[in-house]
Amino acid sequence: MNENRRRAIVWDTIERIAFKPATDDDQRTWLGAYARTLHTIWDMEPAWTFLALDDHFDVPFLMLNCIYSIDSVPYSISLVQASTTPHCYWQNHIDTGYLSKASLFPASGQYPCQQFAQLRRDIEAVLNGMILHPRCHSHLEDLGVQNVQLDGSIGGLSSHEARIGGGIENPVVLLFHLRYQFCLVSDQARQTERQRLIELFENAIRNSDSTVNARDLFGFQRRNN
Amino acid sequence: MKRRKYGVNLDDGVPLATDEEFRLLYVPCNTAATDCLRDWFADNARGSILLGGQIGTGKTTVIKEVSRSFSDPAIISVRFDTDPIEASEGGYCMLLLGRILNAALNSGVAVEDIGISLSDFSSVDAHSWRDFADKITSRPSNLQEAGRLREICGIMTQNAGLVRKACSQLLDRLRDRTSREPVIVAEGIDKFSPGTPDYFLLKDILTFLAEGKTLFEANAVHLFMERDFPLAIRKIFIGGISHDMLVQMLKKRLGSYSPVYQEAFSSISKYSGGNARQALRLLNAYYFQRTQNKKEHAAAMALACRQVGKDLLSISYSHFPTNVFAVVKHDGYIEAALFGDRKNAAGVNDAVYRNWLLIRNEPASAAPTQWPAIINPLIDEAIEWKTDTPRTPEEEAVRKWARDHDISPVGLNIPVNESGEPAWSKFWEEIDSSSEEDTLNILSVLKEIAAGLFGLERQDRIIISYRERGNLESVRDFLVGRANTYSHFPCEEIAIEGGEGREPVIDLLIKLADQNPNHIYSVELTGKWTDAQLNDLDRRRDILGNLQMLWWIQQDDLKAYLRFWPQLRQFFRIYRLEDEMWRGITIEEIQSDIDFIKNISDENDPEGVRRLLNVLDFLKKSGGKS
């Protein structure tokens, strides 16, 4: 199987098993884990965060508020200035009543197990395009957000490194994508998350798992004492 | 404590302990003191050191930083604040003997024929000196064991001289065996306020230890206790931290995010008065106001000052040395003689011991009795001194916000009279009345304490006071249940009753014998604690270590207790529950939390579900939202 076909399968598989919570309960659990791990990936202190299907969360170090609605079509996600006179920088509507090229032909078939040696590289490429560095994107300063440079001496990144993907049709993928893009605390933290996701999906695809649950997707740790 | 590698690491100013903490967060603020101590440890000569600094200046961290590079068996660490079974001469002797015995036995020293024998202490039923040493230095696991140890304390009190002589012999033998002068690190002397009965009972031990090679961890006020230590003892003073060092410390705490909050650094440095813990607590409170309450800089700073001032300093206190304050404000220093002066000593010692006055540096050689000092800025800033230097626009902005919102301790503008003295009674009145209004519902408390309660990287100690007890179990279950939506946090429930004829502190020691930093400890204080019990608890604040704790205390009791707790309150933040505490909490939200834990957990009977089901039951019985 050629590389493009393999990667199309990987793309659709990842989206299907991790980013399509089926029931209301699944969606709430997905958002619950999302809310409770934002601080982990951003390496900040935890705060009480509850997220419903239509809700918002803060990105305090960028003075941003992310407002989203994924309860019904059209879905929407906005980035709004966190201030007493909020200014909307960016708003994305996802109207699934209309076509996109990506929605026309979901990849069929399973990843060819005789080519598992290629799987890791395929996943890396897919995660880059889907979440980490989408082909179509805007940098935060292009949207008018004030540039923030975190402390580079310990690996902190500039807000320029936050790439807001323009063509993401799945609102759950879009939320996951934003979570990663706002991880500016250090390049190493991004690399760690990237490796974690690659390993997670490599195992899931090799094992033909039908789902990656929210706990594993977000690295939600429940310690046993 | 596990820390974040790149991001934010805040807390209420607990000493650094692990290698990871030193690597990520340590700032060499006191290089002269650390160099001096390092040389002293390395040197084999006799001679003791009195390391003195006010509360929160970083003494424990300095000692840890130095001692972690020395793992000599001849270094004997004795914690006089937390480890004695009781505050008596016998209690201190027993601890010292036990530690020295252990060190001697570890080095293969013969411990027979030291003037005391095991049969003198038959009640502990020890079959060997090793067993005896272990038993008298371990925390009791029940009241019976505590009783037996107290019997030994009684015997040791009556024979304190003999015990000290035995210690002396063991130290001599240890020196002969290791060819090295035994070093004793006497930690926790700083928790003994001079003039208190407990300090008096410790004096003979201090004198004995000073004759050898001992490092005393003391408060700044002990440096002025000429009669308690030999005149020749070497004194090292740890004073205020410079602005640059404080900024480095704040930057490290914020990690990569430090540029985002750097506008606060100069204010935090100023309002901290150079005190490390006060700076860290201000940063903690400021960061909370900025990130969680979305306050602008000036508002966040004013609110941070109020929170920290309330937690650390504010009490109505009759010995408040107003005349000394006016002099320090005017002169910028405090005369050493005042610490021993019959008229002023009690007030001055208290003011320094409780951090109302902050000593900045050692005296200059030209004026060797004049210790540069300031009034704690969290008190000073409330007063409209006639002679103050002009404030920066930023300071004015913080004061203006505080004034406009009736926030103490900054911006109160307490007037001074014609002789330049402020109306102190009005000051305390304002502080007290502003905290009266400071009540929170449960959701607000949860927001305030979330960073510690939900986090794996920090543990906080929280006092929650209430007017009517009501169903506190449900409040506790709500907080613990919500914490369990973040991770698995088992909760240990502890009730401690104080009062005449009771032993609440021993009881607490027993219940905290097996400490687990991943647990939440819910501690309810009941009964009318005696002054001695409150003092004992204050001195033992470090047994609470790095535990996540929720303490529940009735608000009038707390008000009476706080003045006994200058040490304990250093590690606590205090919140008061409003009467309508359940406001804003719905059955649907609790059910949603329960469902989440069930879906995310692979435990059979998750603690969070059990706790939240209790809350659900309570809410249903009380009519939905209560």
Q: What is the DSSP string of B202-261?
A: HHHHHHHHHTSEEEEEE-GGGGG-TTTS-TT-EEEEE-PPPHHHHHHHHHHHHGGGGGGG
Q: Which residue carries 């590389």 as its tokens? A: A3
Beta bridge partners of B565: none
Beta strands in B499-581 (DSSP E): 520-527, 548-554, 572-577
Of B290, B486, B516, the CB nearest to A36: B486
Compute the nearest-CA separation of B232 from chain A (Å): 46
Q: Is A86 on the interface with B (CB under 8 A)?
A: no
B455, A28: Cβ pair inside 8 Å? no
Query: Cα–Cα distance between B414 and B423 in angstroms, integer?
Result: 7
Q: Is A147 on the interface with B (CB under 8 A)?
A: no
A33, B450: Cβ pair inside 8 Å? no
Are the CB atoms for B278 and B272 separated by under 8 Å? yes
Q: What pLDDT does B345 receive?
A: 86
- Name the nearest CA neighbour of B436 among B408, B402, B469: B408
B485, A214: Cβ pair inside 8 Å? no
Q: Is A60 on the interface with B (CB under 8 A)?
A: yes
Q: What pLDDT does B625 receive?
A: 47
Residues ≥6 apart with Cβ < 8 Å to B513: B139, B140, B141
Of B486, B490, B599, the CB nearest to A225: B490
Residues ≥6 apart with Cβ < 8 Å to A220: A33, A36, A37, A214, B600
Q: What pLDDT does B388 receive?
A: 65
Beta bridge partners of A79: A66, A90
A43: which chain B residues are within 8 Å (Cβ-Cβ)? Answer: 4-8, 255-256
A48, B447: Cβ pair inside 8 Å? yes
Query: Cα–Cα distance between B551 and B561 in angstroms, integer?
Result: 13
Residues ≥6 apart with Cβ < 8 Å to A155: A185, A186, A187, A188, A189, B6, B256
Name the CATH topology of B49-238. Rossmann fold (3.40.50)
B259, A221: Cβ pair inside 8 Å? no
A25, B595: Cβ pair inside 8 Å? yes
Q: Is A47 on the interface with B (CB under 8 A)?
A: yes
Predicted TM-score (pTM) of the model is: 0.93
Are the CB atoms for B519 and B547 separated by under 8 Å? yes
Q: What pLDDT does B1 receive?
A: 75
B256, A43: Cβ pair inside 8 Å? yes
Residues ≥6 apart with Cβ < 8 Å to B190: B52, B53, B55, B59, B81, B217, B218, B219, B222
Q: Is A51 on the interface with B (CB under 8 A)?
A: no
Q: What pLDDT does B408 receive?
A: 62
B602: which chain A residues are within 8 Å (Cβ-Cβ)? Answer: 222
Which of A41, A218, A222, A223 to substitute to test the interface with B, most B CBs within 10 Å? A222
- Name the nearest CA neighbour of A162 among A190, A188, A122: A190
Of A32, A47, A50, the CB nearest to B292: A47
A44, B456: Cβ pair inside 8 Å? no
A215: which chain B residues are within 8 Å (Cβ-Cβ)? Answer: 600
Chain A residue with minimum CA distance to B254: A44
Chain A residue with minimum CA distance to B515: A225
B601, A45: Cβ pair inside 8 Å? no
Of A36, A185, A222, the CB nearest to B601: A222
Q: Is A156 on the interface with B (CB under 8 A)?
A: yes
Burial A102-140 (b: 16+ CB within 10 A, else e): eeeeebeeebeeeeeebbeebbbebbeebbbebeebebb
3-state SS, residue A207: coil
Q: What pLDDT does B576 receive?
A: 92
Burial B327-364 (b: 16+ CB within 10 A, else e): bbbeeebbbbebbeeeebbebbbbbbbbbbbbbbebbe
For residue B445, give both structure tokens. 């408390």
Query: Cα–Cα distance between A63 and A177 in angstroms, integer?
Result: 18
Query: Where in the sequence of chain B do the CATH 3.40.50.300 domains occur?
Result: 438-626
Query: Cα–Cα distance between B20 and B67 in angstroms, integer?
Result: 16
Residues for chain A: how many in total? 225
Of A58, A150, A221, the CB nearest to B257: A150
From first to last of the 225 residues of chain A, give the pLDDT tens digit: 899 999 999 999 999 999 999 999 999 999 999 999 999 999 999 999 999 999 999 999 999 999 999 999 999 999 999 887 889 999 999 999 999 988 888 888 899 999 999 999 999 999 999 999 999 999 999 999 999 999 999 999 999 999 999 889 999 999 999 999 999 999 999 999 999 999 999 999 999 999 999 999 999 876 654
Q: What pLDDT does B132 receive?
A: 96
Are the CB atoms for B21 and B68 separated by under 8 Å? no
Q: What pLDDT does A225 receive?
A: 45
Q: Is A219 on the interface with B (CB under 8 A)?
A: no
CB count in 10 Å sphere of residue B597: 24
- Name the nearest CA neighbour of B153 among B88, B211, B248: B88
Radius of gyration of chain A (CA): 18
Compute the nearest-CA separation of B172 from chain A (Å): 45
A33: which chain B residues are within 8 Å (Cβ-Cβ)? Answer: 600
- Name the nearest CA neighbour of B626 among B575, B587, B577, B595: B587
Of A42, A47, A215, the CB nearest to B7: A42
Which of B257, B456, B591 to substitute to test the interface with A, most A CBs within 10 Å? B257
Query: Cα–Cα distance between B481 and B608 in angstroms, integer?
Result: 4
Compute the nearest-CA separation of A128 from chain B (Å): 23
Query: Cα separations (Å) of B411 from B355, B377, B420, B431?
Result: 20, 11, 18, 11
| Sheet with strand B213-218: strands edge to edge | B75-79, B183-187, B213-218, B49-53, B234-238
B291: which chain A residues are within 8 Å (Cβ-Cβ)? Answer: 44-45, 47, 58, 60
Of B255, B260, B603, the CB nearest to A43: B255
Give me the torsion for CA of B190, B196, B198, B202, rounded to 10°: 60
Query: Cα–Cα distance between B76 and A71 in angstroms, integer?
Result: 64
Q: What pLDDT does B226 receive?
A: 83
Provide long-range contacts, Cβ within 8 A and 24+ apart, for A82-91.
Answer: A82/A58, A82/B294, A87/A144, A89/A64, A89/A140, A89/A143, A89/A144, A89/A145, A90/A138, A90/A143, A90/A164
Interface of B with A (CB under 8 A): 4-8, 10, 251, 255-260, 287, 290-292, 294, 446-447, 450-451, 454-458, 482, 485-488, 490, 516, 518-519, 589, 592, 595-596, 599-603
Compute the nearest-CA separation of A111 from chain B (Å): 29
A44: which chain B residues are within 8 Å (Cβ-Cβ)? Answer: 4, 7-8, 257, 291
3-state SS, residue B375: strand
Name the CATH topology of B438-626. Rossmann fold (3.40.50)
Q: What pLDDT does B413 receive?
A: 64
Residue numbers in chain B where pLDDT is lower than 70: 314-320, 384-388, 408-437, 624-626
Chain B residue with minimum CA distance to A34: B486
